[in-house]
Amino acid sequence: MARPDYYGNPAGLTEEIETVRALYDAFERRDVDAMLAAISDDCELFLEGTARLAGRSEPYRGHAGLREYLADVERLWEELVLHATDYRAVPGSVIVMGHITGRREGLDVRRASVWTWKVTAGRATSVKAADLGDMA
């Protein structure tokens, strides 16, 4: 059965979802400039999986933090793909459900994930990733 157009977005918020989709697309291309254009200067990136692997306990912050995160991804992952499959929006926030696939230290990784984005004036101001565990 097809979902209605308003499914997951009862308020019809398209700008917030477009901003977040653009970030996933830019990440897939590893297009730093496009990612920087879509986040605020003081954005907080709570990307715990990679941060933990990097030995970080604090979020990545701002444009410099995004660059640090991408450097950590490059250094720690042989491959990392974000599969954002379901977007839900309420004013100021976008919840994205999906999973990650990757390769690290020669082992394949597949984990369920949820990302919670805060978006203001067309730019992301924060993201928190929740690792939901291994996928069968």
CATH code of the domain containing 54: 3.10.450.50
**CA distances in angstroms from 69 to 16, 73, 120, listed in the order given:** 22, 6, 22
- 5 within domain boundaries: no
pLDDT digits (tens, 9 = 90+) for 56-105: 999 999 999 999 999 999 999 999 999 999 999 988 999 999 999 999 99
pTM: 0.87
Domain that residue 104 falls in = 15-134
Whether residue 9 lies inside any domain: the answer is no
> How many structural domains is the chain composed of?
1
Residue 16 · residue 89 · CB < 8 Å: yes
Using CA atoms, how far apart are residues 2 and 49, in angstroms rounded to an integer? 34
